[in-house]
Amino acid sequence: MTKTGWCYWTVASLAGVVALCGVVGVAVGGAEATTEVTLQQFRAMLDQAAAALEQGDAATAQQKLRDAARLTTDDVFHTMLADAADDYDAGKPKVARLALKRATSYLNPWFWVILGFIAQAMFVGRFAVQWIASERRGESVVPIAFWYFSLLGSWGLLAYALWRQDIVIILGQALNSVIYIRNLTLIYRKQKRDAAAAGQSGEETAR
């Protein structure tokens, strides 16, 4: 890669890190304001539910209470159940059944837990791969398998973090994946250049 290309790549990486820090800072700084807005919305929904009951509109009151319940909990399972109930009320039984299946799978997390363990094992196992390759060569080297283990492990942990809704792990693994893909790209580009140079050298030798 040329010096200009390295400069562009470095600047882009730094910009990504700065943007990541900015997102985290905004999320932390805005947590208090978000909580205040949520409380205001909760009170407003309760007032609307009470007004609907006074007017004899039970359906609207029920809906407002459901919306208020969604604001008072971070439990994804309860939100899924509320969505399923809304779908049934709206005459969408098939959509409601799908929502209930998602809720059931959320309560049975063994698939995601196993995926998380496998991904973590690959992420840690990359160092064993690098160690074995270095011992065989008698010097410190980073084999291409190291980057594949890193990438697959990172993707697995990213999927697990999305299921857990863990913003810290999501941001970290998403950024790591870009770095691993970039290293693999550079490795394959070098292999192509070396193959082309070897072919050209062979042709010149044959002449």
**Total domains in the fold of the chain:** 2
The set of residues, in sequence order, having a beta carbon less than 8 Å from that of 79 and lying 6+ positions away, is: 70, 73
CB 12, CB 5: distance < 8 Å: no
Same domain for 92 and 123: no
Domain stops at, among 107, 126, 153: 107
Domain stops at, among 87, 107, 127: 107
Same domain for 96 and 35: yes
Range of weakest confidence among 40-44, 57-61, 159-163:
40-44
The residue assigned the tokens 């700065």 is 18
Q: Of 161, 69, 72, 146, nearest to 115 (Cα)?
A: 161
**Is 156 part of any domain?**
yes
**Is 171 part of any domain?**
yes
The residue assigned the tokens 């939100």 is 79
Q: What residue numbers bound the domain in which 39 lies?
A: 31-107
The set of residues, in sequence order, having a beta carbon less than 8 Å from that of 37 and lying 6+ positions away, is: none
- In the three-class reduction of DSSP (H, G, I as helix; E, B as strand; rest coil), residue 55 is classed as coil
Q: Of 153, 154, 146, nearest to 183 (Cα)?
A: 146
Same domain for 113 and 86: no
Q: Across 94-98, 101-105, 193-197, which has the greatest mean pLDDT?
A: 193-197
Residue 3 has pLDDT above 60, yes or no: no
- In the three-class reduction of DSSP (H, G, I as helix; E, B as strand; rest coil), residue 148 is classed as helix
How many Cβ atoms sit within 10 Å of the Cβ of residue 143? 17
Cα separation, 174 vs 151, whole angstroms = 10
Domain stops at, among 91, 107, 123: 107
pLDDT in tens, 104-129: 666 667 788 888 899 999 988 999 99
pLDDT at 203: 61
